[in-house]
Amino acid sequence: MARIGLKPGDPVFVRPDGTVDAGLLDFVLSHTFRNLERESKRNYSTDIRLLLDFLSSRNVEWRQATQQDLDDFRDWRCEAPENPERVGGTKWDREAAAFTKLFRWGEVRPLPVDISRREDRAADSVSSRVSWLTPRTWGLWSDVGLRGHIRGGIPEPGWDSRTEIRNTSFVQLVLSSALRRQEGGSLLVFEVPTQRLRHGRYCHGQIAGAVTRSKNSRVFYASVDAVGQVEAYVESERAWAVQRAQAGGRYERLPGMRLITRVTSGVKPKVEWVDRNGVVGGKELSRLGWRERQSLFLEGPEGPEPAYLWLTEQGLPMAPDRWNGVFRAANLRCERVLLSEKERTVTRDLRLTEVRGKSPYATPHSARHSAALYLLIVLNQLMETRFGLSQGERRDFALLFGDPWWLVKTVLGHADVETTKRHYLAPVAHLQLESILAMAETTDDGDEQVADLDGVFARLAKESAGIQDIDALLDRAAS
């Protein structure tokens, strides 16, 4: 495979007669497909395969596909009652993007589907992507799914906690910082923020542009508590994994190891290294993608150890998309503990709302959504209740520092504040947060402030779609 240019994980499309489709192989090897991120390659390949199966059932080659073929496929995927696995608008838009890329590369004219055309995009694609959990629901999800708790609030006997600190540390870091999965999942150990802000509750660090969606580096903020959990992971589970790997000689067998010799300081720090053949190299830290980062090592007290922060149990760098499996396993465990056997027999998509609401469901990206929502509510509370700003004063504050939407946009790394409103927070705009928060009682007691925020989130969850808040279940779990 390597001789023809295929990389590990690259797809190979096989025809029904068992032969490799040479045209699609050229597509996989093309600049168009090769530059996609690893997860995008996997997702697009899956989407294209479904379309190929559909076209094959009509004896239509993909290069001969028409707009009518794509309209029929879209109807089957999204609308047909006889299809038990219909998809929503967001999923269709991703599939349409994959098909558009393929047909443009293949110079199919006219384009059977074009994601840039409004009529080829789904009207419901924005809100369906939004998924939030309230802070206390994240606590329940973490306790049950990641810490192995049962309904009594204690770990289940025999719970295997070998990666508990790693998993909970990652979740708390993403919840605190609103980083994307790839951004938080590709940090190096010396990129964990250590410099505290003036009042000491948050630290700030720098995210490399190469691991962001925009390819622009930016500052990120993480709470001291979240950073402390990451440091505890580094000193415990991670250190043990490194020791076992060193003892087993795993690092000695890695051919692509690059031992870091120096990390420069300044505005654009550079990482310098030497490989196993003695070849010296270097690159600007912000330009190192997650794959290159996995080959970087530091000289530790017992020999070389990965510079990559998140490691597997074997002590090897953990690819960012493997966090999907961690979240999936936690979701399944929440279902096993919190749902009855009969309730679990129905897939989540087909469950009744009251059944679905008994068990929290989270993804790495819903942690980012939740962090954005939490920040918006806190900022609104500060302006409305703590500072007691009038409408005019709030307008002056916004001119100086930006309104809550602009501040959340900055933290998320969006180029346009309208993107923040449209993709993350628009579903709660109708609630008039100012009025809700104005009714919330505020005191000088810190614990009461936290309880008050729980009340605000509880109300939002009752009146908004997409916000998970486990109320009665929490009460029963605590008793």
- What are the pLDDT digits (tens) for 216-249? 898 898 999 999 999 999 999 999 999 999 999 9
Token reading at 97: 């993007």
pLDDT at 19: 92
Tell whether the model's pLDDT for residue 94 goes beyond 50: yes
Whole-number pLDDT of residue 406: 65
Which range, of 14-28, 188-202, 365-379, 384-398, averages the lowest pLDDT?
384-398
pLDDT in the model for residue 375: 77
Residue 239: exposure state from Cβ atoms within 10 A (0-12, 13-18, ≥19): middle
Work out the average pLDDT over 266-287: 94
Poorest-pLDDT segment among 50-64, 355-369, 419-433: 419-433
Digit-coded pLDDT (tens) for 339-355: 888 877 766 665 555 55
Q: Is 270:261 a contact under the CB 8 Å cutoff?
A: no
Specify the 3-state DSSP secondary structure of 168: helix
CB 454 within 8 A of CB 461: no
- Looking at residue 380, its pLDDT comes to 64
Q: Where are the beta strands (DSSP E) in 5-113?
A: none
CB neighbours of 451 closer than 8 A, spacing ≥ 6?
A: none
pTM listed for this prediction: 0.73
pLDDT tens for each residue of 101-154: 999 999 999 999 998 888 988 876 554 455 788 888 999 999 999 999 998 788
More confident residue, 144 or 449: 144
Continuous H helices in 319-445: 323-338, 341-344, 353-356, 364-381, 391-401, 404-412, 417-420, 433-438
- The two beta strands, 303-306 and 296-300, are antiparallel
- Phi and psi at 275, nearest 5°, equal -90, -175
Q: What is the pLDDT of residues 451-470, one digit of tens each?
A: 466 776 776 666 565 677 77
Given this model, what pLDDT does residue 440 score?
Answer: 43
pLDDT of residue 459: 65
In a 3-state reduction of DSSP, which class is residue 18? coil
User: Angle 207-208-214 (CA atoms, 0-180°, nearest 5)?
Assistant: 95
Q: Kindly list the distances between the CA atom of residue 55 and the CA atoms of 42, 71, 76, 77, in Å, as whole numbers in the listed order.
A: 20, 12, 12, 13
What's the chain's average pLDDT? 82
Q: Look at residue 155 and give its three-state secondary structure.
A: strand
